[in-house]
A and B are shown apart, each in its own frame.
Chain A
Amino acid sequence: MATLSDITRRSSQWITPQIFVFAVFLLSLPLWIRPIGLYQYIGIEIAIWIIFALGFNLLFGYTGLHSFGHGAYLGVGAYAFGLFQLHVGVSLIGGLLAAVFAAALAGAFVACFVSHRRGIYFALMTIAFGQVFWFASIKMHGITGGEDGLLNIPRPDLNLGVYSVSLSGNTALYYLIAVLLIIVTVFTWRAMNSPFGRILQAIRQNETRASFIGYEVWWFKWAAFTLSAMFAGLAGGLFAMAQESAYPDVMSLHQSGLIVMMVLVGGGLVNFWGPILGVILYFIARDVLGSITETWLLWYGLMFVVMVMFKPEGLAGVLAGLSKNSAETLNDLPVKTAEGN
């Protein structure tokens, strides 16, 4: 069976053919999204959630730490972006940096408490902390606007020195997010084939052994958690910008569960591309199934159950099964087989 830790033939490249295809897909999306019956805003949602999902899978799939409270960092990013625009100044870079920084801070803080745990204890503690953030966002009226949240967050322009681009249109905003997503994709891909990423994967496989060959396991778990919270924060900031608001629902347990479901359905446990497939599938299901029936979530949930029962490798596993060539691992290379086996 394919696993996340298979070594791909192109593990030293920055831009693999898959990344190139994905980038073309993203950048050309505004050209064909309407003709196929969808709309521009769904592209924005998908791209934002993929940023969230890729960062989440660094922790969930690669490090094997099952966080069920990651919506909190999406929310922290969204609020930080909004508060920056409303109180500090209307700035795109400033807002996004604030979002990333605030989420990193929140993640780093929580990680201090959860990094010596794994399994069910880790999961429960992440839920507990997630609920703390959610509750705080509702109760701290003065800062967060309570249940209404922050409204009328401006969409700042993209300032490129002399040249400034308005992002008030969804297509322009989409392009910004798509470019950020491509950068995130390249970075996460590289990171997971770097020494740092391989150590995270070693910790997933065998924490005891990892410490006995000299790794400060605690630190790596902390770093993975913080890093994934940063990506969640970036996604949250972009989300606040797209929605022009930030509200407690963004960091609810519901969102935390959703990202887990997307990553699992897509196959994030066995493949780098799993989370991406999972996010796309979810939003297509929401809009296409949702246009047919109000109970679309029931059908999506049933699909999740069927997937977990019969194809736990997820969508990525299904696709890999369909085309053997797609599993680009060294296991396919003609290597000598084990003697005596």
Chain B
Amino acid sequence: MALFEARNIHKRFGSRVVLENISLSFEEGQVNGIMGPNGAGKTTCFHCLTGHYKPTRGNIIFDGQDITGKPPQRISRMGVSRSFQLMNLFDDSSVIENIILALPDFRRRYAQATRSVFDDRELLEQARVILDQVGLLGQEWLPSLSLSYGNRRALEIGVALAANPRIVFLDEPTSGLGAEATRQLASLINKLRSKYTIVMIEHDMRFLFELADTISVIHWGQVIAQGTPDELQSNKWVQRSALGEVA
């Protein structure tokens, strides 16, 4: 059985149908890509899957449990993490605090009102392991706002990983990155694929075809094609939606 499954998701805003009968399933340990043109409904789909929006109809199943309509904090605590298309960090805080805040061990201490955070070696060590993964070790005490754009994207992913998720949703991780930073990100995702199930929305076709095990194409609010990268390159629907030029 798939680790994460969306069954017949519909999402309407007023009379506007944004998602229509979306069914997706993500197997444990795979890198899954979601692609599609601007306005196709990819981010709305992410918002539904991670609890930001409640789908109008349909069910979302994670690890055998129905999580449809649960608030994001509950879904997050169950092991579903996400990053955002636009930068969504704690800007006043240092790099390491951004990570610490997301650690489950820290979250469990939420009611502690007299203990210090920044001399807790165990938390700092856990955060450093995450920062090492995303290549930000050595910059932990900088204000997160002072990082370069690429490093902020890496921190964005780090925050998602720090929650110790089983599945990570990345919303356009390469957006705004240069060629070099994109290469670094690709190698990061290759490192992460052994530990996490990854779902990513991506515009960069080369990036996606290189990394993904399976790809779903969303267009006009529907899944118009699904398959391995090889299968998709020969799919006429994909070619027709003007996304197939990668081959």
Number of interface residues of B (CB under 8 A): 47
Complex contact A202–B112 (CB within 8 A): no
Interface presence of B122 (CB below 8 A): no
Residues on the B chain within 8 Å of A12, using CB: 116, 118-119
Interface presence of B191 (CB below 8 A): no
10 contacts between A and B (CB under 8 A): A11-B119, A187-B114, A194-B117, A195-B110, A210-B101, A214-B163, A215-B107, A216-B73, A340-B148, A341-B148
Residues on the A chain within 8 Å of B102, using CB: 213-214
Interface presence of B89 (CB below 8 A): yes
Min C-beta distance of A312 to chain B, whole Å: 15
Complex contact B111–A201 (CB within 8 A): no
Residues on the B chain within 8 Å of A220, using CB: 110
CB contact between B113 and one of A6, A197, A209, A333 (< 8 Å): that residue: A197
Interface presence of A25 (CB below 8 A): no
| Per-residue interface assignment for chain A, residues 203 to 231, with 1 indicating a CB less than 8 Å from any chain B CB and 0 otherwise | 00110111111111100100000000000
Complex contact A194–B82 (CB within 8 A): no
Bound state CA distance, A153 and B84, in angstroms?
57
- Closest B residue, CB atoms, query A193: B116
Residues on the B chain within 8 Å of A210, using CB: 101
Interface presence of B174 (CB below 8 A): no
| Per-residue interface assignment for chain B, residues 63 to 90, with 1 indicating a CB less than 8 Å from any chain A CB and 0 otherwise | 0000000011100110001101000111
Bound state CA distance, A318 and B72, in angstroms?
41
Interface presence of A196 (CB below 8 A): yes
Residues on the A chain within 8 Å of B148, using CB: 338, 340-341
Residues on the A chain within 8 Å of B72, using CB: 211-212
Complex contact A214–B77 (CB within 8 A): yes
Complex contact A196–B107 (CB within 8 A): no
Residues on the A chain within 8 Å of B139, using CB: 336, 338-339
Which one, B6-14, B27-35, B91-99, B209-217, is touching chain A? Answer: B91-99
Complex contact A11–B93 (CB within 8 A): no
Complex contact A206–B91 (CB within 8 A): yes
| Per-residue interface assignment for chain B, residues 112 to 130, with 1 indicating a CB less than 8 Å from any chain A CB and 0 otherwise | 1111111100000000000
Complex contact B113–A191 (CB within 8 A): yes
Residues on the A chain within 8 Å of B118, using CB: 7, 11-12, 193
Q: Which of B94, B102, B110, B111 has the most CB of A within 10 A?
A: B110
Bound state CA distance, A199 and B93, in angstroms?
11
Residues on the A chain within 8 Å of B91, using CB: 205-206
- Closest B residue, CB atoms, query A340: B148
Bound state CA distance, A336 and B96, in angstroms?
14
Complex contact B50–A209 (CB within 8 A): no
Complex contact A214–B107 (CB within 8 A): yes
Min C-beta distance of B178 to chain A, whole Å: 11
- Given the contacts A214-B73, A338-B148, A201 and B115 also touching, CB distance less than 8 Å: no
Interface presence of B146 (CB below 8 A): yes
Task: Give the top 8 A-B pairs by smallest Cβ distance, nearest first.
Answer: A12-B116, A214-B76, A213-B102, A12-B119, A5-B92, A195-B109, A3-B92, A196-B113
Min C-beta distance of A226 to chain B, whole Å: 13
Complex contact A193–B117 (CB within 8 A): yes
Bound state CA distance, A217 and B107, in angstroms?
12
Min C-beta distance of A207 to chain B, whole Å: 11
CB contact between B88 and one of A191, A208, A335, A340 (< 8 Å): that residue: A208
Interface presence of A330 (CB below 8 A): yes
Bound state CA distance, A205 and B76, in angstroms?
19
Residues on the B chain within 8 Å of A195, using CB: 106, 109-113, 115, 117
Min C-beta distance of B15 to chain A, whole Å: 26
- Given the contacts A194-B116, A215-B110, A4 and B92 also touching, CB distance less than 8 Å: yes
Bound state CA distance, A108 and B53, in angstroms?
28
A298-335 interface with B by 8 A CB criterion: 330-331, 333, 335
CB contact between B90 and one of A206, A330, A338 (< 8 Å): that residue: A206
- Closest A residue, CB atoms, query B107: A214
Bound state CA distance, A197 and B159, in angstroms?
19
Complex contact A194–B147 (CB within 8 A): no
Q: Which of B104, B112, B113, B146 has the most CB of A within 10 A?
A: B113
Complex contact B73–A215 (CB within 8 A): yes
Residues on the A chain within 8 Å of B92, using CB: 3-6, 201, 205
